Amino acid sequence: MDYCTLTKDKIFLEELVEQVSDARCGGIASFFGTTRDNFQGKKVESLEYEAHEEMAIKEMFKLCKEIREKWTDVCKIAIVHRLGLVEVKEASIAIVISSPHRKDCLEAVQFAIDKLKATIPIWKKVIINYLHPAFVTYVSTFKESLMPILCLQERYSNGESSWKENAECSWKTK
């Protein structure tokens, strides 16, 4: 059973654990990505997510299929991503996977979050608080020719902007 969804509601661990619980499974692993209060040394107020919803759901189920091909003992998978405003300390992404033994579900969760961040068409806006007018950073992740594009656009109160590569860019020169 695979459960993949996008939501504007808060994500609760207990509900997802219930979704993936199975009498055959002795392990449930989870990852919750939360909004932290800082980004590149700047104070974060919140994050805001938007997505190409139909494509994102399709790609999330595709990710589940890939997980099942790599870890054949995985029983159930739940992937939930928030859309809209996500405050500091709230979860924006949750991945919960069950399997008979801990190794498979732990490895599968690690793989899932890495693959999701690189391929699912979800965009993140980081809202930064300066003592002066608003500072906004856009982080976009989307598929184009099977290559994710992740970049930052910093917009300053004087109207200037600056594009920067995200550290997760697969093509970024080391």
Residues 124-147 have pLDDT tens digits of 888 876 544 444 555 544 434 333
Between 150 and 82, residue with greater pLDDT: 82
% residues pLDDT > 90 (the chain): 63
DSSP string for the chain: -EEEEEESSPP-HHHHHHHH--TT-SEEEEEEEE--SEETTEEEEEEEEEE-HHHHHHHHHHHHHHHHHH-TT--EEEEEEE-EEEETTSEEEEEEEEESSHHHHHHHHHHHHHHHHHHS-EEEEEEEE-SSS-EEEEEEEEEETTEEEEEEEEE-TTS-EEEEE-TT-TT---
Between 8 and 148, residue with greater pLDDT: 8
Please say if the pLDDT value at position 149 is more than 70. Answer: no
Is 54:3 a contact under the CB 8 Å cutoff? no
Categorize the per-residue pLDDT at 8 as very low, low, confident or very high, splitting at 50, 70 and 90: very high
Mean pLDDT for all residues in the chain: 82
pLDDT of residue 146: 36
Query: Is residue 10 annotated as involved in ligand binding?
Result: no
Is 33:85 a contact under the CB 8 Å cutoff? no
Categorize the per-residue pLDDT at 75 as very low, low, confident or very high, splitting at 50, 70 and 90: very high
Categorize the per-residue pLDDT at 159 as very low, low, confident or very high, splitting at 50, 70 and 90: very low
Categorize the per-residue pLDDT at 151 as very low, low, confident or very high, splitting at 50, 70 and 90: very low
End-to-end Cα distance, the chain? 40
Q: How many CB atoms lie within 10 A of CB 5?
A: 14
Structure tokens at 44: 């974060």
pLDDT of residue 130: 56
Structure tokens at 126: 């980081």
Categorize the per-residue pLDDT at 95 as very low, low, confident or very high, splitting at 50, 70 and 90: very high
For the chain, domains (ranges, CATH) are: 2-134 (3.90.1170.40)
Query: Is residue 101 annotated as involved in ligand binding?
Result: yes
Query: Is residue 155 annotated as involved in ligand binding?
Result: no
What's the mean pLDDT in 13-26?
Answer: 97
Between 17 and 149, residue with greater pLDDT: 17
